[in-house]
Amino acid sequence: MIEIKNVSKSYVKGKKSVDDLNLEIKNGEIFGFLGPNGAGKTTTIRMITGILNMDEGDILIDGKSIKKEPLAAKKNFGFVPDSPDMFLKLKGIEYLMFMADVYDVPQNKRKEKIEELTKKFEIYNQLNNQIQSYSHGMRQKIVICGALLSEPKNWILDEPMTGLDPKSSYDLKEMMREHAKSGKTVFFSTHILEVAEKLCDRVGIINKGKLVFVGTFEEMKQKFKENASLEDLFLEITEK
């Protein structure tokens, strides 16, 4: 469960990039975070994950404050950043083992989990190669594998579908559904409205730092124009 309470952040004095954000992502829920470029999505994700400090408010991951108990809070999520160009000089297997050491994955689970994830994403045969030789999509896959290795209760994913081929994208979405079904949380940002509509239990739309809508797509349609397309609804909400 992720709780965002009265969170604000300014990069420039007098101009809030995120303004008094309140959000609760419940267990068993897939939550899509939408918004135009520069709306505050990445800033919010960076505050949830502890990369950025917030000016006001607090964020709790399974009840642990990222501000007051950062290490305990960080143990409760797995994060996939927007850029997968990480540790390019390491071999795939070295990267995954490093992540396993960082997140204390037990010895007896490592092999099983690495094989399961990498075979699902069809990169098992590449694990002995340096990540720098991987394509963009393969890099995205190895980063996702690294984040999910420790079976974190909360998944936080920044634009996770970018660069993935259709099959991997489908697999990831299935995994997200299974994860939520088992009572855990998925929070992800995306630009692809169709993905959000088909996958998410609820969505939040942020615009100019303010949360302008939270709810299901049905609620969005009821609140705005019933017959409008998803794209029209999004544009109406964010251009108001």
Partner 1 sequence: MDKVIKLTKIFLKNSFSNMDARMGISTKSKSKIIVYGLLFLYFAGLIIFLGYNLLDGLIAIHQETIFVGMILFMIFGLGIIQTIFSSINILYFTKDSEYLLPLPLKPYQIILARTNVMLIAEYVIIFLIGFIPLVMYGILTGAGIVYYLTMILAVILVPILPVLLISMLVMFIMSFAKLTKNRNRFQLFATLLVLAIIIALSISTSGMKQDLTNEEMAQMVVQANGMIELVKGYVPTVDYLMEALTTNSLFTAIVEVLKTLGITIVGFILYMLIAQKIYFKGLVGNLFGGGASNTNKEINQKEYRNSKLYKSYVGKEFKNMARNPVFLMQCLIPAVLIPIIMVVVVYAGLNSDGMGLEQITQMVQQTPTNTFFIACIILGVIQFFTMFIYISITAISRDGENAVFMKYIPVSLYKQYLYKIIPNIIMNIVTIIITLGMAEYLLNLPVITLIELFIVATIMGILQSIAMIIVDLKRPKLNWDSEYAVAKQNLNLVFPVLLSIVNIVILVGFVYLLKDINVYVGVGILGILYIVATVITNKYLYNKQYELADKII
Q: Residues interacting with partner 1, by CB under 8 A?
A: 46, 49-53, 71-72, 74-75, 79, 81, 83, 85-87, 89-90, 93-94, 97-98, 100-103, 105-107, 110-111, 114, 125-130, 133-135, 138
Residue among 160 and 234 whose Cβ is closer to partner 1: 160
Q: Which residue has the tokens 């081929």?
A: 165
Residue among 6 and 132 whose Cβ is closer to partner 1: 132
| Least separation in angstroms between CB 127 and partner 1 | 6
Tell me how far apart the terminal alpha carbons of the chain are, to the nearest angstrom.
31
| Least separation in angstroms between CB 226 and partner 1 | 41
Residue among 46 and 202 whose Cβ is closer to partner 1: 46
The SS3 assignment for 206 reads strand
Q: Which tokens is 97 given?
A: 């083992």
| Least separation in angstroms between CB 15 and partner 1 | 17
Return the closest-CA partner of residue 211 out of 40, 30, 12, 32: 40
- Residue partners of 110: CB distance under 8 A and separation at least 6: 97, 100, 149
| Least separation in angstroms between CB 157 and partner 1 | 12
Residue among 154 and 220 whose Cβ is closer to partner 1: 154
Residue among 58 and 201 whose Cβ is closer to partner 1: 58
| Least separation in angstroms between CB 121 and partner 1 | 14
CA distance 76 to 63: 10
Q: Specify the amino acid at residue 119.
A: K
For residues 131 and 142, the answer to whether their CB atoms sit within 8 Å is yes
